[in-house]
Each structure stands twice: as C-alpha cells, then as structure tokens.
Amino acid sequence: MFEKLDQLENALYSLQYEGKIFSSSHINKAEEAVRFLEHKYAGHIKLDDCIIFPFLEKHIPRLSSVLLYLKAERREFQEGFKVFERTLSELKKGNQDIIRYNLIARLKDKGIYLISLIRSHIQLEEQSVYESITRELHQDERNALIEKIMKEAGQL
C-alpha cells in the first residue's frame, strides 16, 4: 500500500516538473497506482463493514466513535478518487499548455490530498482499531475474528 502511495506521489511530482516527453509515463504510473488503491479500498471497506466493525462494536463498544469516523471518511475517499480520475482523463486528452498546466496542478493537489488522507486513515486504524484488537480482545476472541476474516477473504 505504501509503495503505491509513494509511486503516486512520485508520478505527480514528476508530472509537474518534467516535460511533456515523459508525461504519458507519469500519467500511466499515477493511473495504475490509483486503480490499485481503489481496488484495495473497496476490499477493505467490505471487510470492515461485514466483519471487523460489527465484531468490534460488539466486543469493544468504546471504539464506536472511532469506527463512525472511519466510516465517515469514506465519502471523502470516494469523492477524491472521482475528482482525481476525471482530472486525469481530462489531462490525457492533450490540452493547450495553460490548461494542461492547470490540470496538472489540480491533479497534484487532489493526489497529494488523497495520499495524506489514506496515510492518516491507515495510522488511525493501526493506532485505534488494530492496537485495541491486540490489547483488549482475549485470544479466543481474536481467533474468532481471524476465522471470520479468513472465511470472508476466501469469498472476496
């Protein structure tokens, strides 16, 4: 995940600072990274909604506010991905230089925002959700959660 975030960030900066000759390569790298992130995000949401969050709401109720916050972030993710993809599509059309410059700047801004949002989301999940699983659930509860996750992963 972090490798793809770095790939996206590098592609965005390279797109801004390198000439048109390399732009299609950077656009392709950015597009590849965003598609990967969207795919991972979709699977992650399904796992959270079907298994992890309901389990935690039942076994660690004090996490409810954090779980609600994580769910609320989804709208921002989805909107960010849509805007990024629309801007990327517009950029791929090959516009005049001034329009192209503005599209690249908008793409970079939206991409950096998405990268920051994803990294922040991962950090919040690790520090609140996954640490709570480790610290607060008994071994048999953790095993039950893992079993549910593995069962669902086989269906994904």
Closest Cα partner for 83 from 38, 131, 24? 38
- pLDDT given at position 99: 81
| More confident site: 128 or 20 | 128
Provide the residue range defining the domain that includes 85. 2-155
What pLDDT is attached to residue 58?
A: 94
Percent of the chain with pLDDT over 70: 96
Q: Is the pLDDT of residue 22 over 70?
A: no
User: The CATH number of the domain where 54 resides is what?
Assistant: 1.20.120.520
pLDDT of residue 152: 81
Residue 4: closest CA among 125, 150, 147, 114: 114
Q: What's the domain count of the chain? A: 1
pTM: 0.82
- pLDDT at site 4: 93
Question: What average pLDDT does range 55-74 have in this prediction?
Answer: 93
73-100 burial: b if 16+ Cβ within 10 Å, else e: eeeebeebbebbbebbebbeeeeeeeeb
